[in-house]
C-alpha cells in the first residue's frame, strides 16, 4: 500500500526502547504534519496524553468520551479522567498488595 492517509496502530510503543520510541514519535509526527491521520490504542495514558490531539475513551465496547484531549482531561491528568470515566475505584490502603505477603513472612 502506497501513501496511506490513515494508520491504525495497536500499542505501538509496547516493548520499545526509548531511542526507538523517539524515532516512532518523529515518524508519526511527520506523517500527521503531511496530512495523515493516526489512530492508536494504548493503555499508557501518559503516552496518549503526550501524543494525541483527540482522545476516545472506550470501555466494554462503549465510547465514554470523545473530544480533543484537553476537553476529555478537564484540566486533570488523563490517567485520572480515564479511571473516573471507566468507573475504576481506589485501592484501600489496607488492601494494597497484601496478596503478595510480606518479605519477612517465611514459607
Alpha carbons 77 and 79: distance in angstroms, whole number? 5
Q: pTM value?
A: 0.74
Q: How many Cβ atoms sit within 10 Å of the Cβ of residue 60?
A: 7
The string of pLDDT tens digits covering residues 8-45 is: 999 999 999 999 999 999 999 999 999 999 999 999 99
In the chain, where the domains are located: 6-87
Does residue 97 have a pLDDT over 80?
A: no
Question: May I ask the CATH class of domain 6-87?
Answer: alpha beta
Q: Which residues are paired to 57 by β-bridges?
A: 65
Amino acid at each position: 500500500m502506497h501513501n496511506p492517509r490513515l494508520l491504525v496502530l495497536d500499542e505501538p510503543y509496547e516493548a520499545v526502547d526509548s531511542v526507538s520510541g523517539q524515532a516512532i514519535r518523529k515518524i508519526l509526527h511527520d506523517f500527521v504534519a503531511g496530512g495523515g491521520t493516526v489512530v492508536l490504542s494504548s493503555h499508557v495514558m501518559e503516552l496518549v496524553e503526550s501524543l494525541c490531539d483527540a482522545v476516545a475513551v472506550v470501555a466494554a465496547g462503549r465510547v465514554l468520551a470523545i473530544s480533543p484531549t484537553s476537553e476529555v482531561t478537564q484540566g486533570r491528568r488523563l490517567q485520572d479522567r480515564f479511571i473516573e470515566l471507566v468507573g475504576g475505584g481506589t485501592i484501600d490502603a489496607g488492601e494494597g498488595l497484601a496478596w503478595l505477603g510480606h518479605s519477612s513472612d517465611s514459607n
